[in-house]
Amino acid sequence: MIYLFFLIWIAIGSMAFFSRTRREVHLLCGLYVATHALFAGRLIFGGDYLTTSGVFFTFDQAGTLFYVLLAIVGTFVLFHSQEYLRGDDFRHYRKYFALLMLLITAITGVYFANNIAITWILLETTTLCSAGILYHRHSEQTLEATWKYLFVCSTGIAIAYLGILLLSAAASNNSLSYNDMAQLIANGNPLYLKAAFLLILTGYSCKMEIFPLYTIGVDANFAAPAPASALLSTGLVNAGFLAIFRIYKLFAHTEVFDWVRHVMIIIGVLSLLVGALFLRRTNNYKRFLSYSTVENMGIVAIGLGIGGIGVWAALFHVICHTFIKSSLFLQIAVVRQIYNGYRINRIGDYININKAGAIGLLVGMVVVLAFPPSPLFVSELMILSETITSGNWWLTATLLLLLCIVIYSVCQRFIRLCYHPNQDELHLSNVNRRLSYSALVLLAGAIILGLWQPQQLVALIDKIATF
């Protein structure tokens, strides 16, 4: 079934390149969203993920969960993009939507891929689609960001490819299926396994936006239109996380798994450190939100590293971060329409200009900082409790110190935006404040998860976290 839907999605995205009017583009977007809703409904209510497995794709619990998140966020991104880009040249407009739909299709493939090679190919496909979106403005800045993105991501994917070759050598088999590899590498050469994991983790870090290749994700979010950044910081980051998580699960029954967990902790702490420090230094709100993503993905990596309940918490953290960060990027898109920029040291008084948007940012600030009733409070408390239980006091102290820096930085920047006197010229005539209310829906979904976790979701995460 997925092959049929893939053909439909690719056809719709390709047709957008040849659209003659904006109305045609909007109709294709509506059709694209409808087919994803149909596919998601078939998976959820038809139970296909429990029974269907193809040569290259499998409807497993992890893929289904992240796909549903992608379908929700993708719908909001397509809707907000129509308003955000309404004054753009039509040729650039239709190309943007075509690439956005193809990007969502490629990310969907990553979620359901049951083969390491297919995951690798589709992640490189996301690079090509994202690069076209980054260059949407056709400025010198976006051209530079696009070439950097292509170069760094392609280099990262090449590094990951070397890791896949070593993993295949350790397995002494030609099969690259995740199920087959899990059994074949159980007794593999420890040196090969360690080198393979390091290479794959390094290569895919450009997608998950963690240390060491996190910088390219920050540059990409800075260059891309803000609604597209909402997708890059959630759907694409989740694709990188899931690619790494599947490799992480492969190593669960090998003798080097304890070493793998230590590596994840180190990578997580370094990512959290980078995020905390650069949240203080950046003078651009889009870069600010991007470093927040690096910080949150660092916490996720630490959760995987400490193991136990930390794995469950890491998965729940990624799910909730998807709603929160997409909402914040969509709110920042409205900010840009009003101030025509993202400069932290110049824009302010947002509470008197767009009250709904300011409330969305202030509530988003509370939620992204993991204050109750934020769902991130649940996941971070689990990770901290597991860290304390395991006796890692140095890690506990480091986490608390860096999180205090994050709290101070985020509060200072968002409060400044809402209450500090404004110095920039305002552009109020073309602003659709209903977009601020729309973005609040995603934030409300995150808060509901903080107050109440449905039993079905808990059971689904339990299955994914068990290996």
Give the lowest-confidence range in 32-36, 40-44, 377-381: 40-44
Tell me the C-alpha distance between 348 and 421, whole Å.
Answer: 5
Mean pLDDT, residues 59-79:
96
pLDDT of residue 56: 86
- Whether the pLDDT of residue 201 is over 90: the answer is yes
- Whether the pLDDT of residue 429 is over 80: the answer is no
Tell me the C-alpha distance between 195 and 344, whole Å.
Answer: 42
Share of the chain above pLDDT 90, in %: 85
Most confident of 55-59, 77-81, 83-87, 340-344: 77-81
Q: Which residue type occupies 332?
A: I
pLDDT of residue 430: 65
Backbone angles phi, psi at 337, to 5 degrees: -65, -35
pLDDT of residue 180: 86
Mean pLDDT, residues 141-164:
96
- Whether the pLDDT of residue 409 is over 90: the answer is yes
- Whether the pLDDT of residue 176 is over 90: the answer is no
pLDDT of residue 53: 62
Give the lowest-confidence range in 44-53, 220-229, 284-293, 454-463: 44-53
- Whether the pLDDT of residue 20 is over 60: the answer is yes
Place of tokens 């870090």: 205
| pLDDT band at 184; cut points 50, 70, 90 | confident
pLDDT tens, residue by residue, 203-241: 999 999 999 999 999 999 999 999 999 999 999 999 999
Radius of gyration for the chain, computed over Cα atoms and rounded to the nearest angstrom: 21
Q: State the DSSP code for 425.
A: P
Using CA of residue 365, residue 369, residue 370, residue 371, what is the dihedral sign? negative
**Helix runs in 282-346, H state only:** 285-306, 309-339
CA contacts within 13 A on the Cβ side of 187: 2
- Whether the pLDDT of residue 381 is over 90: the answer is yes
pLDDT of residue 87: 87
- Whether the pLDDT of residue 50 is over 60: the answer is no
Q: Which two tokens stand for residue 463?
A: 């299955």
- Whether the pLDDT of residue 369 is over 70: the answer is yes
**What does pTM read for this prediction?**
0.97
| pLDDT band at 398; cut points 50, 70, 90 | very high
Q: State the DSSP code for 454.
A: -
Tell me the C-alpha distance between 50 and 43, whole Å.
Answer: 9
Residues 12 and 28: beta-carbon distance below 8 Å: yes
Residues 235 and 70: beta-carbon distance below 8 Å: yes
pLDDT tens, residue by residue, 249-283: 999 989 999 999 999 999 999 999 999 999 999 99
3-state secondary structure at position 254? coil
3-state secondary structure at position 209? coil
Q: Which of 286, 272, 326 is nearest to 413 (CA)?
A: 286
